[in-house]
């Protein structure tokens, strides 16, 4: 594979899909490089809340394929290949993956974030055998069973509510003094008789047998007391880590590894924008990353037209 485009978008989450769609609608030739099925984190979310126009929420497995079809309709080339390297070239930027190279004058980094791991014994061992990060995929298997959800933010609360629709009992474990995030989720958690909240606590170990998870150890942070709690599953939503290691210093990152951008989503490197969860000071919301994609595409389109890369002010 080797081809030249006006714009290459790296990452097929909602930020990347929106960027590719907008760039395509602006008449640019676009390649969208995605390491997996387009959709990113939203693909498996049963009810994406807070997207304007969807009063009852929308399923990721509906919204993402529709957006991909919109990209197809404007001629976006989808390349299912992870980007491993980016290097300056005569025609702008060369983006390389196991499948080969693509080049473009404009590049939009939309590689998103990965879910952080607890980093405790047993977590890796039981991944896919009770340890999960996808409630809509695995919760239907938990009828009459118990599940532990680690985390205290929007994602943890949202997924705990999905798990509670199926499981008999959900134990939500957070190291904080309370839940933080959307009030609606907090109220629904507090009013859900199936969900038990453990504040100022952390999961320290995952235990199991050949068939999968059987228990976790939960530590009370103040007292240090550890308790073994029987469970059939552990869902982990404790934070996000930017997917930026592959950039190898091509663009500056902030202390947490997010790509630094200005209000037009330009990096300090002419021709490279970043959009969505991978960029600094992002919204971490579906509506926000969609807007990011559109803005980054417009910024790159202006650059391709004018050849100038100015930061405002
Ligand atoms: C459990 C959960 C529930 C959520 N619920 C909601 C909700 O209800 N409402 C809401 O507004 N938001 C919600 N969010 C947040 C929302 O999912 C994110 O803000 C949004 O998906 C971020 O989009 P993104 O495109 O920036 O990144 P991602 O969705 O992370 O997509 C990035 C994509 O890039 C790919 N990629 C990474 N590295 C490379 C590479 N080197 N080469 C090629 N491709 C690469 C990844 O595989 C991925 O497909 C939720 C998040 C989670 C985790």
* Span 213-229, pLDDT tens digits: 999 999 999 999 999 99
Instruction: State if residue 82 touches ligand 1 by the CB under 6 angstroms criterion.
Output: yes
* 181-to-41, 54, 81, 115, 154 alpha-carbon distances in Å: 18, 20, 34, 17, 5
- Claim to verify: residue 190 and residue 273 sit in the same structural domain: no
Residue 312's pLDDT is 53
Residue located nearest, by CA, to atom 3 of ligand 1: 155
- Claim to verify: residue 65 and residue 33 sit in the same structural domain: yes
Given 236, 264, 286, the domain boundary residue is 236
Instruction: State if residue 243 touches ligand 1 by the CB under 6 angstroms criterion.
Output: yes
Number of domains into which the chain is organized: 2
Distance CA 97, CA 31 (A): 13
Residue 90's pLDDT is 87
- Claim to verify: residue 35 and residue 123 sit in the same structural domain: no
In a domain, 22, yes or no: yes
Domain that holds residue 144: 117-236
Supply 112's token pair: 């998103």
In a domain, 216, yes or no: yes
Instruction: State if residue 274 touches ligand 1 by the CB under 6 angstroms criterion.
Output: no
pTM as predicted: 0.94
Nearest alpha-carbon partner for 240 in 173, 157, 151, 179:
151
- Claim to verify: residue 144 and residue 209 sit in the same structural domain: yes
- Claim to verify: residue 142 and residue 230 sit in the same structural domain: yes
- Claim to verify: residue 142 and residue 106 sit in the same structural domain: no
Q: Say if residue 91's pLDDT is above 90.
A: no
pLDDT tens readout for residues 73-90:
999 999 999 999 999 998
- Claim to verify: residue 213 and residue 186 sit in the same structural domain: yes
Nearest alpha-carbon partner for 107 in 299, 307, 308, 312:
299
- Claim to verify: residue 228 and residue 121 sit in the same structural domain: yes
- Claim to verify: residue 225 and residue 245 sit in the same structural domain: no
Q: What's the CATH code of the domain at 132?
A: 3.50.50.60
Tracing tokens 């709690």 back to the chain, one arrives at 229
- Claim to verify: residue 150 and residue 82 sit in the same structural domain: no
Residue 276's pLDDT is 98
Instruction: Work out the mean pLDDT of the chain and round it to a whole number.
Output: 96
In a domain, 313, yes or no: no
- Claim to verify: residue 127 and residue 190 sit in the same structural domain: yes
Task: For a ligand 1 pocket test, name from 54, 78, 84, 112 the mutation site with the most ligand atoms within 8 angstroms of its C-beta.
Answer: 112
Say which residues have a Cβ less than 8 Å from residue 84's Cβ, sequence separation at least 6: 96, 97, 98, 246
Given 236, 258, 273, the domain boundary residue is 236
- Claim to verify: residue 81 and residue 98 sit in the same structural domain: yes
Given 206, 236, 266, the domain boundary residue is 236
pLDDT tens readout for residues 140-183:
999 999 999 999 999 999 999 999 999 999 999 999 999 999 99
Residue 310's pLDDT is 79
For 177-205, what is the mean pLDDT? 96
pLDDT tens readout for residues 253-291:
999 999 999 999 999 999 999 999 999 999 999 999 999
In a domain, 311, yes or no: no
Q: Say if residue 313's pLDDT is above 50.
A: no
Residue located nearest, by CA, to atom 27 of ligand 1: 112
Tracing tokens 């919760």 back to the chain, one arrives at 139
């Amino acid at each position: 594979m080797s081809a030249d485009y006006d714009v290459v978008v790296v990452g097929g989450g909602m930020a990347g899909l929106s960027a590719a769609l907008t760039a395509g609608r602006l008449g640019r030739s676009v390649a969208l490089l995605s390491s997996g099925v387009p959709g990113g984190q939203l693909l498996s979310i049963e009810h994406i809340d807070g997207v304007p126009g969807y009063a009852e929420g929308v399923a990721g497995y509906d919204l993402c394929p529709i957006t991909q079809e919109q990209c197809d309709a404007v001629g976006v080339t989808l390349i299912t290949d992870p980007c491993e390297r980016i290097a300056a070239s005569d025609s702008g930027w060369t983006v390389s993956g196991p499948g080969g190279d693509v080049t473009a004058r404009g590049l939009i980094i939309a590689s998103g974030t990965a879910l952080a791991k607890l980093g405790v014994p047993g977590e890796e061992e039981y991944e896919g055998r009770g340890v999960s990060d996808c409630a809509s995929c695995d919760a239907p298997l938990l009828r009459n069973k118990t599940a532990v959800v680690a985390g205290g933010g929007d994602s943890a609360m949202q997924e705990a509510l999905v798990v509670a629709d199926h499981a008999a009992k959900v134990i939500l474990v957070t190291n904080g003094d309370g839940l933080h995030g959307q009030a609606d989720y907090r109220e629904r958690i507090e009013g859900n008789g199936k969900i038990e909240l453990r504040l100022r606590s952390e999961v320290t170990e995952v235990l199991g047998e050949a068939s999968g998870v059987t228990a976790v150890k939960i530590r009370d942070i103040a007292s240090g007391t550890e308790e073994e709690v029987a469970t059939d599953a552990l869902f982990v939503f404790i934070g996000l880590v930017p997917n930026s290691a592959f950039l190898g210093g091509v663009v500056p990152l902030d202390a947490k590894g997010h790509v630094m951008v200005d209000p037009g989503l330009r990096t300090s490197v002419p021709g490279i924008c970043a959009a969505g969860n991978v960029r600094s000071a992002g919204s971490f919301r579906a509506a926000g990353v969609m807007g990011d994609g559109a803005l980054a595409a417009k910024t790159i389109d202006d650059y391709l037209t004018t050849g100038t890369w100015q930061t405002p002010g």
